[in-house]
Amino acid sequence: MSALIERQSGNRRSIAIETTDAAHYAATRRRLTAAQRRWLTDSGFEAAAGTYALLSDATGKPVRVLAGVDPREPLAALAALPCSLPEATYHLADEGVLADPLQAALGWALGAYQFTRYRQAKRAPARLAVPAAQLQQLAPLAEATALVRDLVNTPTEHMGPEQLGDAVKRLGKAHQAKVRDWVGEELLKANFPTIHAVGRASHRAPRLVELSWGRKADPKLVIVGKGVCFDTGGLDLKSSDGMRWMKKDMGGAAHAIALAGLVMQAQLPVRLTLLIPAVENAVAGNALRPGEVVVTRAGHSVEIDNTDAEGRLVLCDALAYGAEQQPELMLDFATLTGAARVALGPDLPALFANDEAAAAALLAAGRAVDDPLWRLPLWRPYRKMLDSYLADFANAGASRHAGAITAALYLERFVPDGTPWLHLDTYAWNDADRPGRPRGGEAMGLRAMFAFLHQRYGNMTSGVVVPQ
All residues at 6 or more sequence positions from 55 whose CB lies less than 8 Å from its CB, including other chains = 32, 36, 39, 40, 62, 63, 64, 65, 66
DSSP state of 249: G
Residue length, the chain?
A: 468
User: Strands of 393-394's sheet, edge to edge?
Assistant: 293-295, 301-303, 393-394
- One pLDDT digit (tens) per residue for the chain, 468 residues: 578 888 765 556 899 999 999 999 999 999 999 999 999 999 999 999 999 999 998 888 999 999 999 988 989 999 999 999 999 999 999 889 988 899 999 999 999 999 999 999 989 999 999 999 999 999 999 999 999 999 999 999 999 999 999 999 999 999 999 999 999 999 999 999 999 999 999 999 999 999 999 999 999 999 999 999 999 999 999 999 999 999 999 999 999 999 999 999 999 999 999 999 999 999 999 999 999 999 999 999 999 999 999 999 999 999 999 999 999 999 999 999 999 999 999 999 999 999 999 999 999 999 999 999 999 999 999 999 999 999 999 999 999 999 999 999 999 999 999 999 999 999 999 999 999 999 999 999 999 999 999 999 986 543 444 444
Q: Which segments within 138-252 are labelled E, that is strand?
A: 178-183, 207-213, 220-225, 227-231
Q: Which segments within 82-185 are labelled E, that is strand?
A: 89-92, 127-130, 178-183
Residue extent(s) of CATH 3.40.220.10 domains in the chain? 4-125
- Residue type for position 168: V
- What is the pLDDT, as a whole number, of residue 1? 56
Q: How far apart are the first and last CA of the chain?
A: 20
Which residues are marked as active site? Answer: 238, 312
Say if CB 314 and CB 195 are below 8 A apart: yes
* Global pTM value: 0.95
Say if CB 411 and CB 332 are below 8 A apart: yes
Say if CB 312 and CB 395 are below 8 A apart: yes
| DSSP-derived 3-state class of residue 19 | strand
- What is the pLDDT, as a whole number, of residue 376? 98
CATH class of the region 4-125 = alpha beta
- The H or E element spanning position 153 is helix 132-153
DSSP state of 246: G
User: How many Cβ atoms sit within 10 Å of the Cβ of residue 208?
Assistant: 27
Rounded to whole angstroms, the Cα distance separating 443 from 18 reads 28
CA distances from 39 to 20, 36, 49, 128 (A): 17, 5, 19, 25
Say if CB 135 and CB 4 are below 8 A apart: yes
| DSSP-derived 3-state class of residue 43 | helix
- What is the pLDDT, as a whole number, of residue 438? 95
Residue extent(s) of CATH 3.40.630.10 domains in the chain? 141-458
**178 closest CA partner among 279, 274, 315:** 274
All residues at 6 or more sequence positions from 51 whose CB lies less than 8 Å from its CB, including other chains = 45, 67, 68
Secondary structure tally for the chain: helices H, strands E: 15, 20
- What is the pLDDT, as a whole number, of residue 60? 87
- What is the pLDDT, as a whole number, of residue 344? 98
Rounded to whole angstroms, the Cα distance separating 466 from 448 reads 10
**457 closest CA partner among 290, 298, 329, 294:** 329
Say if CB 64 and CB 107 are below 8 A apart: no
Rounded to whole angstroms, the Cα distance separating 307 from 317 reads 16
365, HSE (Cβ side, Cα atoms, 13 Å): 20
Say if CB 439 and CB 430 are below 8 A apart: yes
CATH 3.40.109.10 matches 141-458: no
- What is the pLDDT, as a whole number, of residue 462? 37
How do beta strands 52-56 and 127-130 pair?
unpaired
